[in-house]
Chain A
Amino acid sequence: MRIALFATCIVDAMYPEVARDTVTILERLGHEVVFPERQACCGQMHVNSGDFAGAVPVVEGHVRAFEDGPDWDVICAPSGSCAASAGHQQPMIARRAGDDDLANRAEDLAGRTYELSQLLTDVLGITDAGEQLGSYFPHAVTYHPSCHGMRILRLGDRQRDLLSTVQDIDLRELPQADQCCGFGGTFSMKNAEVSTAMLEDKAENVVSTGASLCTGGDASCLMHIGGGLSRTGARSPRGEVGTVHLARILASTREKPLLPPRSEPLLSGGSLR
């Protein structure tokens, strides 16, 4: 199968290793990965900020990038929020702008766009990450299901099930897991104090698990949680508590293991890199 990677703007610019690991996983399964280079952003930031006029060219750019680039069978994004935006915001923005043609094209693309765990589970038939992907991660991890994956894409237990089948992983239940971390894009700046109060509770719950890492399927939420953990100097029995994207754990194998933070240089900003 030929899979077009929708890297998402935040992963592209700030967490390139997440996209590289997504490529690694898909190629390991024998699929071809292409990267339509004119892609940029789903437009969610503009939409959620109410800047609908500004969102239109971004949506147009996204649709064109995937229409005009190399041929592909499905689109894969290592983000629940951006995959959700493609389906649940782009057509709406286009219709508002009176561009039904763009709306229909965006809808068509969104119908073939999958969040990573969705693609692995529903399309590629992965039920055991250790067995089928060779995933190996012998560390204590807790999992935060991000809101848009959970409530818009209805990912259910897909991400959790993949994680639980990673070899040697010590997956710890996160209390109040379904509570939002408080990111919400510009919400974290427009309502910074409320956002911080939500983040504090999330960080406290993460720390309570004793895990050294919090994982999830959305780099943006992990950036937020990681930024809070780092600021508060949150610690587990194994040292500082950080965040790591689900794709990184799935890509980690016995042969090429992703190392947990052992010393400062590996951990910065509360995020495992």
Chain B
Amino acid sequence: MTGAREEILTRLRTALGREDGTTTRTGVVPSTGKPVDIDAEVPRAYLREGSLARPAVIEQLVDRLVDYKAWVTQVPAADVPRVVAQRLEQADSVVIPPGLEADVVSQLPEPVRITVDAAEAQDGAVAKAEVESEAADRFASAAHRIHTIDELDATSAVITASRVSVAQTGTIMLDGDTDCGRRMITLVPDHHVCLVPESTVVEIVPEAVARIDLTRPVTMISGPSATSDIELQRVEGVHGPRQLDVIIITDR
């Protein structure tokens, strides 16, 4: 194995004319024949911060998500449990990550079976849940277990938080933390309800890249699964969740 590694690195150094450490074959601009300046600073004149006012940023996120055929609503935090319950009225079962705020599921109708994707109840979540007794009951009574793939396949829906969202591209980023869940729980169930606090919404991609740790297992989601493979026309709904509901939690 070391043989291949060394040989490839040697080949690349040869290609660059770097036998003695400095690059002698710097490359040529193909239209002019002038040598490439490999020491030149990488220009970064592109926008790194958005310019829209906050309401316009949120409006743009909504617009983009709707364009991707996601279902979107904006509600104050107090209304989240009600909206979640509405959206999951038809669900048999819902899986949630252990770090999700407990009251999110507090109004889910009784027949909906809730399970938490964790080996055991986590202190933080339960503590938060104690704020409201109703929510605490629902959360505490939920079964805690690491779900198998088959269990997730038999689960109707998943509810998670999110880390940061990009208005301009309609992109929601999950980072595998305890409120976003393991990657597979947002993948296998066919319906994903995702909570996006207004404060986590940025306007453009560079602002989001600066706020997310890419060494975590990051998943970026822009609408429900889709394909352009048939005549290059976009069709929603292939292997990933076919329904994406986004609940934007307003600051007010």
Interface of A with B (CB < 8 Å)?
88, 91-96, 103
Closest to A93 in B: B33
**A95–B34 CB distance below 8 A:** yes
For A91, the chain B residues whose CB sits under 8 A away are 32-33
- The dominant DSSP class at the A interface is helix
Cβ < 8 Å to A, chain B residues 1-37: 30-34
Q: How far is the CB of B80 from chain A (nearest CB, A)?
A: 50
- The dominant DSSP class at the B interface is loop
Cβ < 8 Å to A, chain B residues 88-121: none
For B32, the chain A residues whose CB sits under 8 A away are 88, 91-92, 95
For B31, the chain A residues whose CB sits under 8 A away are 88, 92
- Complex CA gap A42/B31 in Å reads 15
- Complex CA gap A93/B30 in Å reads 10
- Complex CA gap A196/B32 in Å reads 31
What would be 15 A-B contacts, judged by CB atoms less than 8 Å apart? A88-B31, A88-B32, A91-B32, A91-B33, A92-B30, A92-B31, A92-B32, A92-B33, A93-B33, A94-B33, A95-B32, A95-B33, A95-B34, A96-B33, A103-B33
Chain B contributes a number of interface residues (CB within 8 A of A) equal to 5
Closest to A91 in B: B32
Q: How far is the CB of A51 from chain B (nearest CB, A)?
A: 16
For B30, the chain A residues whose CB sits under 8 A away are 92
- Complex CA gap A103/B28 in Å reads 15
11 further contact pairs, Cβ within 8 A, besides A91-B33, A95-B33: A88-B31, A88-B32, A92-B30, A92-B31, A92-B32, A92-B33, A93-B33, A95-B32, A95-B34, A96-B33, A103-B33
Cβ < 8 Å to A, chain B residues 180-232: none
For A88, the chain B residues whose CB sits under 8 A away are 31-32
- Complex CA gap A91/B32 in Å reads 6
- Complex CA gap A96/B33 in Å reads 7
Closest to A89 in B: B31
- Complex CA gap A88/B32 in Å reads 7
Q: How far is the CB of B30 from chain A (nearest CB, A)?
A: 8
For B33, the chain A residues whose CB sits under 8 A away are 91-96, 103
For A93, the chain B residues whose CB sits under 8 A away are 33
As a 0/1 sequence over residues 33 to 45 of chain B, the CB contacts with chain A under 8 angstroms (1 = contact) are 1100000000000
For A95, the chain B residues whose CB sits under 8 A away are 32-34
Closest to B31 in A: A88
